[in-house]
Amino acid sequence: MQPMIQVQNVCFSYKGDDEERVQILQDFNLEIQQGSFVAVLGHNGSGKSTLARLLNALYQPDAGRVLVNGVDTGDEEQVFAVRRSVGLVFQNPDNQLVASIVEEDVAFGPENLGIAPDEIRRRVDDALQAVDMYEYRTHETHKLSGGQKQRIAIAGILAMQPDCIVFDEPTAMLDPRGRKEVMDIILKLNREMGKTIVLITHYMDEAAQAQRVVVMDNGRIIADDTPRIVFSKVGLLKSVGLDVPQPAELSDRLRKAGIPLRDHVLTVEECISAITDCYFGG
């Protein structure tokens, strides 16, 4: 099957304060399969957000190429096709809403694609239902909570019917309740609607819900595997300034202190049962 996204030997730099080029990505390669859910981790400045912007032709690589459904993002005639295939959701919910009424905001994308009015109506309703905000369709956007605003931003992307949605720290500015609302929607988009998801996040509990975790540092990939395997590399993650989910870190520490716990403990429940089994076991 055609991969959703292929990043091939990409270099990217920008001009810094003193006119010097700052190299962000160097010979970077990544392939993302259709329908998968990939989390990308890395501290600020590791190149994550640059990667997100390369995926829907907001940025163009200095060298190498990015393919979306096999289409080169550097092909100027295909830019709209690329943007329709890959939607981007950003961190700050307040910066992404353009209209004052919920349904008008969601309609903005499809309107710009030149879609017929009754088709727009259908897409807006479907998108709002998908993010559980249908009953808010005539509400004013500025009166919504952060989590609700972010869900409206997601609906706006869904209305363009992309195959893939890239989220750049979508929950960083939300409270715990808002975070959970948005994470539930992201999981639903992937599992029930088959959307390919790329989730950039600082929250390890969110990354732990993905199928695959890619860890970036200094514009390179330093780990790429299932969450269970990646989060067992406690020392590596700490060395690049990242958190490790507490159950994984605690079991790693206990193992090092001589308690023979089983490997690859990721969740609270797994940690409780691993410690209990080890304590009462033979």
Partner 1 sequence: MAIIKTEHLEYIYSQNTPFEKAAVCDVNIEIEQNDFVGIIGHTGSGKSTLVQHLNGLLRPTSGKLYVDGEDVWEQPKEIRRLRFKVGLVFQYPEYQLFDETVEKDIGFGPRNMGLSEEEVRQRVYDAARQVRLSESLLKKSPFDLSGGEKRRAAIAGVLAMQPKVLVLDEPTAGLDPLGRDTILDEIAQYRAEHQTTVLLVSHSMEDVAKVANKVLVMNKGKVAMYDTVDRVYSRGEELEQIGLNVPAVTKIFMGLRRNNLPVGAGVFSMDQAQRELVALFEQRGRLKK
Site residues for partner 1 per CB under 8 A: 43-44, 91, 145, 169, 172-173, 175-178, 202, 241-243, 245-247, 249-250, 253-254, 257-260, 268-269, 271-272, 275-276, 278-279
By beta-carbon proximity to partner 1, the closer residue of 72 and 184 is 184
State in angstroms the smallest separation of the CB of 254 from partner 1: 6
**Residue 117 or 241 with smaller CB distance to partner 1:** 241
Nearest distance from C-beta of residue 163 to partner 1, angstroms: 29
Shortest spacing between CB 230 and partner 1, in angstroms: 15
The four Cα atoms 38, 191, 119, 161 give a dihedral, to 10 degrees, of 10
Residue closer to partner 1 (CB basis): 122 or 220: 220
Residue number, 263 or 269, with CB nearest to partner 1: 269
Cβ distance to partner 1 smaller for residue 48 or 195: 48
Per residue, the 3-state secondary structure of the chain, as one string, reads CCCCEEEEEEEEEEECCCCCEEEEEEEEEEEECCCCEEEEECCCCCCHHHHHHHHCCCCCCCEEEEEECCEECCCHHHHHHHHHHEEEECCCHHHCCCCCEHHHHHHHHHHHCCCCHHHHHHHHHHHHHHCCCHHHCCCEHHHCCHHHHHHHHHHHHHCCCCCEEEEECCCCCCCHHHHHHHHHHHHHHHHCCCCEEEEECCCHHHHCCCCEEEEEECCEEEEEECHHHHCCCHHHHHHCCCCCCHHHHHHHHHHHCCCCCCCCCCCHHHHHHHHHHHHHCC
CB of 39 to partner 1, least distance (A): 14
- Smallest distance, Å, CB 133 to partner 1? 18
Shortest distance, position 265 Cβ to partner 1, whole Å: 10
Closer CB to partner 1, 224 or 243, in the complex: 243
Closer residue to partner 1 (CB): 3 or 45: 45
Number of C-beta neighbours around residue 183 at 10 A:
21
Q: How far is the CB of 255 from partner 1 (least distance, A)?
A: 9
